Amino acid sequence: MRIAVIGSGYVGLVSAACFAELGHEVISVDNDRAKIAALQRGEVPIHERFLPELLTRHRGRLLHFSASVAEAVDKSEAIFITVGTPQSETGEADLSFVEAVAHEIASAIHGSKLIIDKSTVPVRTCESLRKTLLLTGAQPGSFSVASNPEFLREGTAVTDFLYPDRIVIGVDDDLSASVLHEIYQPLTTGSYYNSGSAIPFNEYVHRRAPIIVTNAKSAELIKHASNAFLAMKISFINAVANISESVGADIEQVCAGIGSDSRIGPKFLNAGIGYGGSCFPKDVQAFYVVANQCNYEFGLLTEVMRINADQRRRFVKKVRNALWTLRGKQLAVLGLAFKGDTDDVRESPAIAIIRDLLKEGVRVRVYDPAAIPNARAALSNSSVVYASDPYDAAAGCNALLILTEWKEFASLDLRRLRSLLKYPIVIDGRNLYQTDQMTSAGLIYHSVGRSVGIPEHLSSIADQTEVGLQLPVPVMRPAVGL
């Protein structure tokens, strides 16, 4: 199949590379000529595992790059729209980029084309696409419109695409159905997985990728509802964590108990500073607006958003309680990205918390394995010190904060950290450690949904710390030889 993918961001570039991996002839299009030129030179603009391998494997062979929508449409049978749908001031999805691309596609349609929306859009967008294409001069009968939402997570986008829990196609005619079935056939028949050169992923539970065929409206609703449900699951467990913390229960054990119910499942029950990223915040808000437009007050979603915003405020309060006063304190912060395994800082809870701490006169030394370049632009605050590793960040600080769930932050040399910190305090916003791991290393450990861990030799402050009284933490002389 000859495929055009319009928009080369996270979704578009990964989709284009994976379509080529499935054996299709692909043209990846972007209006950013510099980005297209960089892609043609072999540069990889986003941090995604396996993406460099796929681009190297297919660039110049099955995968080409272009800045011309018209050229790509003319050469393709299937045209995927993967442009951004950012949040507008009113909270609804801004579909102006989708509409602009539709205008360009319409003027280039000659012969039968299938236009497939893969961007996350409100329900009934395919209807609007059809109207716009006709209004812009596309001949009736010369095209079909379908929905094929993606469920990629940043950091695992390639394996999410090639090893999906399900493929959803929203089609309103037989042509659309047959074209999309052909495109995904290597996955739905399982032939890709037996090809010998497949990208490895040995946790896949399916021999053939499941495919759900529905109409366009239902497919659009599946996407918004999926993201809203996942965000709700995170806010729910954070609310339970706040109760757990106040009664001295252990949220990690509570989650084990909840998640062992097969109807709930253990995934997405990680309590912490809440969700961020370029999807959940905007998609939950957009879905709320869609509901309003359908005259339905989706109050549950307003609570999901409120709890999520509140988690950041609660964490800053936790830092203040742990240190008594914040002004003039120096804090080490591990994590800038909105989650582990990505360099993306969009809507990052870590960045939001750092901004709040800076407003309170805190000095910060920050480290992130991949997101420092993006964070420099987002923070644009000269007082932020960018460290070379977690230990460089910790040197001389009054406390160490963990804000992003990078795997490397879960296996730090805790005794080395203790020797570097001015105060032996770790405040973990992602619950990466068991409490006794920290206390046995001589560190006071604050986390989410659990009681504060106090090392034996500091037990005298346990009662005050437990009830959150604000006491100066005794200055610890770095232990020698630990």
Catalytic center residues = 279
Tokens of 314: 């609660």
Instruction: For the chain, state the CA radius of gyration.
Output: 25
CB of 402 to ligand UDX, least distance (A): 12
Nearest CA among 5, 6, 12 for reference residue 51: 12
Question: Which DSSP string corresponds to 207-245?
Answer: SS--EEEE-HHHHHHHHHHHHHHHHHHHHHHHHHHHHHH
Residues forming contacts to ligand UDX in the complex (CB under 6 A) are: 150-154, 227, 230, 234, 268-270, 272, 274-277, 279-280, 338-339, 405
User: Which H/E stretch holds residue 63?
Assistant: strand 63-66
CA distances from 105 to 20, 74, 346 (A): 21, 9, 29
d(CA 282, CA 239): 21
CB of 348 to ligand UDX, least distance (A): 7
Residues paired with residue 363 on neighbouring β-strands, in sequence order: 330
* Pick 133 or 232: Cβ nearer ligand UDX: 232
With beta carbons less than 8 A apart as the criterion, state whether 152 and 168 touch: no
Beta-sheet pairing, 363-367 with 385-386: parallel
d(CA 283, CA 472): 42
CB of 107 to ligand UDX, least distance (A): 31
* Pick 285 or 398: Cβ nearer ligand UDX: 285
d(CA 174, CA 218): 17
Question: Which DSSP string corresponds to 90-133?
Answer: TSSB--HHHHHHHHHHHTT--S-EEEEE-S---TTHHHHHHHHH
With beta carbons less than 8 A apart as the criterion, state whether 24 and 3 touch: yes
CB of 370 to ligand UDX, least distance (A): 14
* Pick 273 or 397: Cβ nearer ligand UDX: 273
d(CA 208, CA 188): 5
* Pick 245 or 405: Cβ nearer ligand UDX: 405
* Pick 335 or 390: Cβ nearer ligand UDX: 335
Q: For 142, phi and psi rounded to 5 degrees?
A: -90, -5
CB of 313 to ligand UDX, least distance (A): 16
* Pick 312 or 339: Cβ nearer ligand UDX: 339
CB of 75 to ligand UDX, least distance (A): 28
d(CA 101, CA 129): 10
CB of 467 to ligand UDX, least distance (A): 27
Judged by DSSP in three states, 417 sits in: helix
Beta strand residue intervals within 128-220, DSSP E: 143-147, 167-170, 211-214
CB of 264 to ligand UDX, least distance (A): 12
CA distances from 23 to 26, 148, 149, 436 (A): 9, 19, 21, 51
* Pick 163 or 280: Cβ nearer ligand UDX: 280
* Pick 277 or 453: Cβ nearer ligand UDX: 277
